[in-house]
Chain A
């Protein structure tokens, strides 16, 4: 649909928030914790922080929680019964305060969980998520959204995108029919606005590389010293994958209590040595360098070769959170 522009006054934001809470929505919004901002289940408007470039954790947790039930079972001597978790009630979630990069991440994420095999648990969650994003007025040296076809005011993935204007009010770009519905339900809060003066409010994020060129280079870079060089300091943890809004590798685990139990899905990371380890002891990706290579190739070669878009939205979370300061931009720009 055609994007429609509205104006929303600053005080109306809180009203909108309260209306959504009153309407039974679960709202995930950035909440301050020490120096960090974390997407958290927020009930009170004043708990939301505006002081963040991006949150430390990613918004994927609302559609792809770190741990979720696939089904539960009950075993008896005669019978095994299975209760499908896809049949449970999923919450109506509003993501409040996602950045354009966070919103853009929902596109590759949704791709992964669909295709030939559709993951209805994921889709059930996704359908119930409403994205109210806020454009970026600040960026830092980790940001590179503009290098992966996004930008500080990019609308893709969001239902509504707010941009703070110089006067303190917000431009509301309504992107989807879902967004339009919200506006019509709260028409008293939204004023019609036609002219768009958004660009000058946005952060400047320099283009750091050309994604198509990177993709072409990676085609023949499997055997290259760069992988070991750039990952030498890697501590083999999974923080890059777990804060990444696109990373979606997972593990399937059972947890039992007596004759009852759950089969669940939980996050996993290609950075872990155990990720690919065979029971025989053979490991196709033996070294941390091979694992770092997989991470880069998957995001910038394998995914774009299949679906045109990169498996990365340039939010920079992985680099920010890396305890060893391994920087994805540094690797990409040194190829």
Chain B
């Protein structure tokens, strides 16, 4: 790898586009070059730089599980310059992908434990990668609980997969929408994620909590987890600072002594507490 230009992306063809929610799309991407597909590997929690030639690069996680080979998936909300251009791409178009970058969720170390996933809004994608990875190696884990909330029913992403998880006996799924975001036939919870979490009151015994969501949700979720008996080293999250390069050079994701792109994006609450609050 050392003789290669680290800024050159893989060329990926968009195989499938799924509209997840208003403004939110999932791309299934396949390598243009067969060799790349074979040599490429990643782990749960890693991210990449997705690009449209002539527009630029944008950072998001790999939303598919490393246990599903041959393709990667990403889910993004149309918001800025690059995601707006990505949103206009069609099936069959070629996009760029650099990665995988960053550290991973320590799934190996979590063997034999229960997992509690807490996600809000568009933050389910980074979690989905871990969820499927855990479900595909279900025997390694005890209880799996997912608490997922969004602004409204419409804003919930991966609706088919939510249905699938709900129907599985080995997963406990709690979905919630913000007050006012429900529809007449909504059967899930109504309320913000931290409150629903408190109400659900999952056991903290031998359990790892993985939290991902907007800063405000994270802020109110940590105290609830602590109340439920989770210790700092058993709470994990993934940060989303603004990034450009993905490997600790361009400087913008620098928080204290870490580069979120290289030393993160996965941090335990214990590690997070040592960082200045610049994320």
Contacts and interface: CB of A to CB of B under 8 A. Distances in A.
A and B touching (Cβ–Cβ under 8 A) = yes
A194 B58 CA distance: 58
Interface in A258-306: 261, 263, 265, 268, 270, 275-280, 282, 284-285, 290, 294, 297-298, 301-302, 305-306
A324 interface: no
Contact of A249 (B57, B214, B241, B251): B251
B249 A85 contact: no
B256 interface: yes
A253 B278 contact: no
A27 to B, nearest CB: 27
B255 A284 contact: yes
B8 A302 contact: no
Contacts of A185: none
Contact of B11 (A80, A282, A301, A305): A80
Contacts of A248: 249, 251
Chain B: number of interface residues, binned into ranges: 35 or more
B242 A302 contact: no
B7 A252 contact: yes
Interface stretch (B21-29, B48-56, B134-142, B150-158): B48-56
Contacts of A85: 5
Contacts of A167: none
Given A119-B249, A278-B242, A80 B6 contact: no
Contact of A302 (B5, B79, B257, B262): B257
B4 interface: yes
A233 interface: no
Given A277-B242, A302-B257, A112 B249 contact: yes
A120 B5 contact: yes
B84 to A, nearest CB: 10
Across the A-B interface, the 9 shortest Cβ-Cβ residue pairs: A256-B54, A249-B251, A117-B247, A86-B5, A70-B7, A279-B80, A261-B54, A284-B278, A279-B79
B98 to A, nearest CB: 10
B250 A268 contact: yes
Contacts of B244: 250-252, 268
Interface in B1-56: 2-9, 11, 32, 51-56
B248 interface: yes
A116 B262 contact: yes
Interface of B: 2-9, 11, 32, 51-57, 79-80, 83, 94, 214-215, 240-242, 244-245, 247-252, 254-257, 262, 276-279
A10 interface: no
Contacts of B249: 112-113, 117, 119, 248, 250
Chain A: number of interface residues, binned into ranges: 35 or more
Contacts of A276: 241-242, 252, 278
Given A80-B11, A248-B249, A294 B254 contact: yes
Contacts of A86: 4-5
A183 to B, nearest CB: 32
Given A263-B51, A277-B242, 14 more contacts: A80-B32, A116-B248, A249-B250, A250-B251, A252-B244, A256-B53, A263-B53, A268-B244, A268-B251, A276-B278, A279-B79, A279-B83, A282-B215, A301-B257
A261 B51 CA distance: 13
